[in-house]
Amino acid sequence: MVSTAFVAVRKRVLLLNDEPELAHRVAQDPAIEVIGQVPDIAACLQMVADIKPDVLILNTGLIGNGALEATMERARSIQPALEIICLHQQRPAISQERLGQPPLFPSLGMQSVSLAPGTATTVPQTSTAAQSGMRDLRALATGNSGTVIAGPGSPGPGDILLPTMVAVFSPKGGTGKTVVAVNLACFLARHLPNKVALVDLDLAFGDAAVHLDILSQPTIADSIHGLENDRPNLDDFLHVHAPTTLRFLSSPAKPELAEFVRPEHARRALARLRAQFPVIVVDLPAEAAADHVLDTLEAATHIALVCTPDAASVRRCRLFLDILARLESIERSKIILVVNRQDHSVGLATSRVASFLGTGLSVDIPEARVKVEESILEGRPLGAVNQDNPFMSGIKQLARILSPAFSFAPPTRVSRLPFPRRRGPGQ
């Protein structure tokens, strides 16, 4: 039985960091909520503005020489009360007159640095840092409220599911992208009750609602007024998928309403949801040049790049990756290749596709079109009702990449409500 513990905490922490081990170690303290991890300064400052953390931890190895002070000053100009902790292997480029205090934690040689109007603390970062020193670092970061997820299932409290936003994207239509997004979200929601949100940002022609049998208002178009007026959350606009507890923000009900949802609305909606839900799955349209698509791909912690094992689909993915290489704003390391409808008797092998595209992590989802189509017609995603089938084995593999802490034991029973049966014509 999978169990998930939720513990009250005191400080919301954002990390400028590219080392997952560090984030996991910081998040082990139940007094800390790690609300995000980003690998570059621009994304970090954007998240400071969007989700307003209490503490910012900077891995100074990711900041160029002479840019540390400027980065801290910029972060504080966005949020004056922000506390900053700097982790470094050598003394950072901070003027000597600001290093006026003695070592804070002698076991790690930590130095205290004052930067009015708040305090920044620099900590030498080593992969083998003493456990007492890491406890001191976590203690330093603690102090307002939120939630932290202690590891689900058998791995124990040391395995933390860090805040995750998965952008599910394909540069070609017809690859089953929405099927992957919906079933992944449902599977995760069954293992993490009330902690997963699905957002349909295929604004003109999104149909994730059909897969979930949610065919009513409200949609993201109805939330525009609240987003423009800094409404703190989107609860009134989220559907609750009762069998899984998944929260769902639907695309507009009609294509003509899509033009009213501007890129800044999509950004604000995702920022609100990231502050509220540890796991977000975003279904994106096959429009690589759309502003809200690029924004989401940049903000995502992972990109599930969906293709099918045929030459046309793989070629489109190659062109998309070439565009990303020129943009230099989206980390290629975030990409997980998902080869959907894989039939090893025909088509390209997943290993060949991954080699051609130059991607690292890859997942193949076996051909199961009959079962998938039946689930869509009934509005009963396989990830919500039938997790023991070849199709779901690929979804589980994708979930395991997102969080190695998942044990995939039978999920927590979150609802005794049966699925409503979709009515046919004349009923």
Comparing CA positions, the residue from 258, 178, 167, 256 lying closest to residue 212 is 178
Q: How far apart are alpha carbons 425 and 275 in whole angstroms?
A: 42
Same fold, 5-150 and 164-402: yes
Reduce the DSSP state of residue 231 to 3 states and report it.
Answer: coil
CATH for the 5-150 domain, from 3.40.250.10, 3.40.50.2300, 3.40.50.300, 3.10.450.50: 3.40.50.2300
Least confident range of 56-70, 171-185, 277-291, 385-399: 56-70
303 pLDDT higher than 90: yes
Helices and strands (H and E) in the chain: how many: 14, 16
Query: Is the per-residue pLDDT at 41 higher than 90?
Result: no
Query: Domains of the chain: which residue ranges?
Result: 5-150, 164-402
* Contact by Cβ (8 Å): 235, 218: no
Q: How far apart are CA 346 and CA 100, in angstroms?
A: 68
Q: pLDDT grade, residue 404 (50/70/90)?
A: low
Higher pLDDT, 261 or 109: 261
Sequence-separated (6 or more) residues with CB below 8 Å from residue 142 = 9, 10, 11, 29, 31, 32
Mapped onto helix, strand or coil, the DSSP state of residue 85 is strand
Whole-number average pLDDT of the chain: 76
DSSP-based three-state secondary structure for 321: helix
Of the candidates 365, 409, 423, the residue with the CA atom closest to the CA atom of residue 391 = 365
In the block, tokens 């987003």 appear at 227
Tell me what percent of the residues of the chain surpass a pLDDT of 90.
43
- C-alpha 197/C-alpha 249 separation (Å) is 8
Q: How far is the C-alpha of 119 from the C-alpha of 113, rounded, in Å? A: 7
Highest mean pLDDT: which of 13-27, 36-50, 163-177?
Answer: 163-177
Quick one: tokens of 329? Answer: 């704003």
Residue 141: other Cβ atoms inside 10 A: 24
Report, as an integer, the average pLDDT of 111-129: 36
Q: Considering the chain, what percentage of its residues have pLDDT values greater than 70?
A: 71
Q: Are 315 and 353 in contact (CB under 8 A)?
A: no
Q: What is the reported pLDDT for 37? A: 81
User: Residue 172's pLDDT is what?
Assistant: 95
Per residue, the 3-state secondary structure of 212-224, as one string, reads: HCCCCCCCHHHHH
d(CA 403, CA 278): 12
Token pair recorded at residue 420: 């409503």
Domain 164-402: CATH superfamily is P-loop containing nucleotide triphosphate hydrolases (3.40.50.300)
